[in-house]
Chain A
Amino acid sequence: MKEIEVALIGNPNVGKSLIFNNLTGGRAHVGNWPGKTVEKKEGRCIHKGVMMRIIDLPGVYSLTAASIDELIARNYIVEERPDVVVDIVDASNLERNLYLTLQLLELEANLVVALNKSDIAEGLRYEIDVKGLSELLGVPVVPTIATVKVGMEELKDAIVEASKRGVKARVRYREDIEELIEGIGDILRRDEGLIKKYPIRWLAIKIIEGDEEVMRLIEERGLMGELREVIG
């Protein structure tokens, strides 16, 4: 049977655990992330002849190097390159939740967005154009209501579908920022080792932001000298 790795991610309190339970039937292997005291949950789900290994990442608002949770989540996505990353988004608080979504797109994760609590949004008397959102982000968006298991089959379909395709989504920023990213990317691409291991666009954005972990990596690879001029 074909086996794929699926990571679940989302802000705290979006219903991520519920979706994990719905997908895996509640059977989970619970351990710790290597060397950390943060809990790691893993489960399985078979859908349309595909075995999904589902990993529950810590609930986070963003993917900086600021906290252990955020580092675990982003290192997992960078290093393990899961086949599909399911980003669970709270439909009643889209603005804040999409901040994480954009960072996942920067990471070039193969994203499926689960628009959870889609019933609450209706209760607040506004509608979200799901198809439009999917087009703007360039990734599939599936409305779900985890509490009553609505949208779970559609979510599994979307995961299997996404695992067959590659990543194609890309959010573009302001033109001058894109030029900066391109400039830094050109320098980074000279290092073969980096290209193999990391999404270059993401590294460039993190360098712009002065991310501590990535700066350390750049220092180790001896690229600091060349980059100093661009960083300013």
Chain B
Amino acid sequence: MSVREVLGEEPEVAMAEERYRVIGEILSRVFRGARPLTLSDLLDKAFLNRGLGIPIFLTLWWALFRFTFDVSAPLSDLIDVFFSRLGEFASSIIGNEWWSAFVSDAICGGLGGVLVFIPPIFFLFLGLALLEDSGYLARAAFVVDKILRPFGLQGRAFIPLLLGFGCNIPGVMATRTIPSERDRILTICVNPLITCSARLPVYVLIAGAVLGAYASMGVFTMYLLSIVLALLMALIFKALIPYFRGRRAPFILELPDYARPTLRSTLTHMYERGILFLKKAGTIIFLGIIVVWLLSSHPWGAPLDQSYIATLGRWLEPLFRPLGFDWRGAVALFFGFIAKEIVVGTFAVFFGLGEEAEIEEVQRSIVELGVFTPLTGFAFMAFTLIYIPCLATIGIIYRETNSVKWTLFTVIYGLILAYLIALLIVVIGGLMGLG
């Protein structure tokens, strides 16, 4: 007689059920009087309801994102304006031309480029901390388990994926709550496909420039593509890679009682995750922007198309020609590897507008110079979505998997998939006469 014969495919679940059966038996003998329904029970009847659970979840999720972006937008604008003024002021008081450009474009531009992400990231984490401390997030994982299961992911993978929409770094770190190593690594591998908030400015820039009336539809498509690809790749990896096969880890989740979130623990949760993003991502993005500036403004005084960055771009261009990206697109993607935020900054630098250029000016230049057609622009957005998230995420993937193999795997499949999907968009679009 084997474990499988007695307890079936999920012995851990069967053992949990057996314990609860014994508990039920004990309770039936020690309770006098019926236990009335508590508020927690009533809330669960709604939140975990087969029909209502998912609509409620989607509503709360939507509210969380509206909250994050609406509340943080004015603050981000404020930070943006502050640093561009600071840059102008600094350059006006520094005599030396090189230092003046360095301080205003590289330093102030770089700092502004990092700090504008603080409001959305902190508000997202505040919202998540509220949902978590109230006890709802555990229910959400439970509800979503039914959706994720067919794709080989379990309910606990939901929180890391959700966090990924803010930033992949805390997303990857949150996989620690997944007990099974296999499930954890699978969730880490697909997490970079979740479109983080840093990719949004790229979509907004390109879609606004070349997609015209379809701009917001284009951005929305990226979010849809992100979710579809993450689930699809999980399914494919599960089917093709022997490591992910085998016994499915059962999903046992203790649902804590609902509680009123305390100010202190909510703020602590938000602060811990936010600071982590700032430390890991901030320094790298900041340095990346400085490097782009140095390469694009040297040899000093040379026009942009003779700068080091242009040389690099021309060298990369043949690789991207099938996708219809020119050397500027190639360079933007190359530096986007450091952090996606840099893609927008790179375009701004290209058109001689400086890091702090208004987005409308950059968009106008993209159209006037014919950098993208609507089709190649859309392919560029898809490429940005799919390929390697950023240096900091790669670092965190290595730390959390503790494996060079899985880190490389994530980087390489991302590049190949990005190329394939972008090519597919260009080819199919071309055949449909959308070029």
Contact = CB atoms under 8 A, between A and B. Distances in A.
B19 A231 contact: no
Interface in B1-41: 1-7, 11-12, 15-16, 18-24, 26-27, 29-36, 38
Contacts of B259: 13
Contacts of B260: none
A97 to B, nearest CB: 9
B3 A96 contact: no
Given A94-B27, A177-B6, A230-B3, A210 B33 contact: no
A176 B33 contact: no
Interface residues on A, range: 35 or more
Interface in A29-73: 61-62, 64-67
Chain B contact surface mostly: helix
Contact of A132 (B20, B30, B181, B257): B30
A23 to B, nearest CB: 25
B395 interface: no
Given A62-B254, A126-B34, A179 B1 contact: yes
Given A93-B257, A96-B254, A174-B18, A129 B23 contact: no
Interface string A64-104: 11110000000000000000000000000111101100110
Given A12-B256, A209-B15, A177 B7 contact: yes
Interface string A116-141: 00000000111111101100110000
B283 to A, nearest CB: 23
A173 to B, nearest CB: 5
A232 interface: yes
B5 A232 contact: yes
B318 interface: no
B49 to A, nearest CB: 20
A230 B2 contact: yes
Interface string B179-205: 111000000000000000000000000
B31 A127 contact: yes
A194 to B, nearest CB: 19
Contacts of B247: 210
A67 B175 CA distance: 11
Contacts of A61: 254
Contacts of A1: none
Contacts of A179: 1
Contacts of A62: 252, 254
23 contacts: A62-B252, A67-B179, A98-B23, A99-B20, A102-B19, A124-B38, A125-B33, A126-B36, A130-B30, A132-B29, A136-B29, A171-B22, A174-B18, A180-B6, A208-B3, A208-B7, A208-B11, A209-B15, A229-B2, A230-B2, A232-B3, A232-B4, A232-B5
Given A95-B23, A127-B33, 16 more contacts: A13-B256, A13-B259, A95-B20, A124-B38, A125-B33, A126-B33, A126-B36, A128-B32, A132-B30, A133-B30, A136-B29, A177-B7, A180-B7, A208-B11, A209-B11, A209-B12
